[in-house]
Structure 1
Amino acid sequence: MCGRIAVTLPSDSMAKLFAALPANNLPSVPNYNICPTDTVHVVRSRGEGRALVAMRWGFVPQWYKTPNNGPLLINARAETIAGKPAFAEAVRARRCIIPASGYYEWASTAEGVKLPWYYTRKDGAPLAFAGIWQDWESADGPLATCAVVTTGSNAMAGKVHHRMPVILEPEAWGKWLGEEGRGAALLMTPAPEATLRAHRVNRAVNSNRAKGSELIEPLEGDVGA
């Protein structure tokens, strides 16, 4: 599962990191509480190079009559993605990378209280989530949409949730984007346990209206530090 992300890296730094040409309509950063249906930064191959573009987080299949005509598809399961009608063509031909500084996951107490945790890379580098994208055609023109590919959690991340985003290392970016031949399916596996660290954060982030850098500040504890 991946239901909230944070992006603190400036757009020009993201463009440089991924060797991508930035679009003019990229969302504002930093944003410490990016929610489903918000606009996110996306790296995709285009022509002879890469582009850093804006897309709606929430994949819309072509047969939806409106963007809200069916389930909100913010994630695509790696184990079934190739066989799902909504995702099969996209994973073959429209793969992308969704950059993030970190993502949130929730653990539930015995009383049903949801406690948020914030995950980042131990080495401080940005996260690069495997994604897929789709242009949904409407009377007003195409709406670019995307979903994060998820897989089963490694032991560290699994202490909080049984799913995690597919995290791509730099050497895998070209292969996932289709720039270096086949083999993308082999990349849809959990990240090594040493990749991530996590800390508890304030429950204020449970609200999709919450803003500010205090949302990612640690409270207490650590998972797999």
Structure 2
Amino acid sequence: MCGRMAITLPHDAMAQIFDAAPGNDLPDVPNFNVCPTVQIHTVTSDGAARRLRPMRWGFLPHWYKATNDGPLLINARAETIAEKPAFRAAVRERRCIVVASGFYEWTRLDDGTRLPWYIFRRDGAPLALAGIWQEWERGEEGHVTCAVVTTAANAPMREVHHRMPVILERQDWPLWLGEAGKGAAVLMRAARDDVLDLYRVDRRVNSNRATGPELIEPIDS
């Protein structure tokens, strides 16, 4: 799964990397502890131009009467995304890229202790996570919301968790964003085993109130 992220790139760097026009209301960076329900950085395309824009992390189906009217949908499983009523229209029509520097995952000891790991691209590039999005409105309240698409973990990730986000390579961005026609379903697979690296980080990140660059510093495991 993907339940916590870090984003350290400046807005202009993200805009340049993804060839996207940046919005003027993007979340502050860096943020070493990005949690669900906050605004995150995403890339969308209308076929002619890309936008770097904020979205609420936590997909809201159109039938939700309030933001807390059902489960918090921060992830969408690739295996069932085309069948689930909450996601099936979005995966056909509203796909996005979620930009991150890395994400966190946890292993659990027999005594219940949760040990956090930081996962990032081995080549130092930002993560381009497959996402879906949807606009949601109730009365005067409105949000642009999104979820990260996940799949079965590759070999390195299985040491930590059985799920992982779908990670898009640069050559796949046009297809996922709908710029290169249909067939994006083939991209919903695990990354190659040599794409990611990971290491243990301090348990301070277990708190969603923790901040600071030390959250992504490696510790002896």
Shared topology, TM-score over 0.5?
yes
Alignment check: 8 A CA contact 2:175 2:183 kept: yes
Q: Who is 1:23 aligned against?
A: 23
1:220 and 1:8 map into 2 onto residues whose CA distance is: 23
1:67 and 1:150 map into 2 onto residues whose CA distance is: 22
Q: Who is 1:33 aligned against?
A: 33
Amino acid at match of 1:150: T
Q: Who is 1:120 aligned against?
A: 120
Q: Who is 1:162 aligned against?
A: 162
What SS is found at the alignment partner of 2:155?
coil
List gaps (5 residues or longer) in structure 1.
none
Q: Who is 1:92 aligned against?
A: 92
1:139 and 1:176 map into 2 onto residues whose CA distance is: 32
1:128 and 1:198 map into 2 onto residues whose CA distance is: 17
Q: Alpha-carbon deviations, 1:146-191, whole Å to 9, x = none?
A: 0000000001001000000000000000000010011100000000
What SS is found at the alignment partner of 2:175?
helix
2:202 and 2:7 map into 1 onto residues whose CA distance is: 18
Amino acid at match of 1:75: N
1:18 and 1:194 map into 2 onto residues whose CA distance is: 22
Alignment check: 8 A CA contact 2:96 2:133 kept: yes
Percent same amino acid among aligned pairs?
Answer: 62
Q: Who is 2:205 aligned against?
A: 205
1:216 aligns with 2:219: no
Q: Who is 2:68 aligned against?
A: 68
Q: Who is 2:45 aligned against?
A: 45
2:117 and 2:130 map into 1 onto residues whose CA distance is: 21
Q: Who is 1:186 aligned against?
A: 186
- Compute the TM-score of the two structures, normalised by the length of structure 2: 0.98
Give the drift of 1:220: 2.1
Q: CA RMSD in A?
A: 0.8
Give the drift of 1:141: 5.0
1:127 and 1:79 map into 2 onto residues whose CA distance is: 21
What SS is found at the alignment partner of 1:156?
helix
Q: Alpha-carbon deviations, 1:19-56, whole Å to 9, x = none?
A: 11111100000000000001100100136200000100
- Compute the TM-score of the two structures, normalised by the length of structure 1: 0.97
Q: Who is 2:142 aligned against?
A: 142
Amino acid at match of 1:157: M
2:218 and 2:45 map into 1 onto residues whose CA distance is: 36
1:25 and 1:200 map into 2 onto residues whose CA distance is: 33
Give the drift of 1:140: 1.5
1:91 and 1:71 map into 2 onto residues whose CA distance is: 19
Count how many residue pairs are aligned between Structure 1 and Structure 2. Answer: 221
1:140 and 1:19 map into 2 onto residues whose CA distance is: 33
Amino acid at match of 2:177: L
Amino acid at match of 1:88: R
After the TM superposition, which segments of 4 or more aligned residues of structure 1 sit over 4 Å from their partners?
none
Give the drift of 1:142: 3.2
Q: Alpha-carbon deviations, 1:117-144, whole Å to 9, x = none?
A: 0001000000000000000012125310
2:111 and 2:209 map into 1 onto residues whose CA distance is: 24
Q: Which stretch shifts more, 41-50 or 97-106?
A: 41-50
List gaps (5 residues or longer) in structure 2.
none
1:83 and 1:97 map into 2 onto residues whose CA distance is: 21
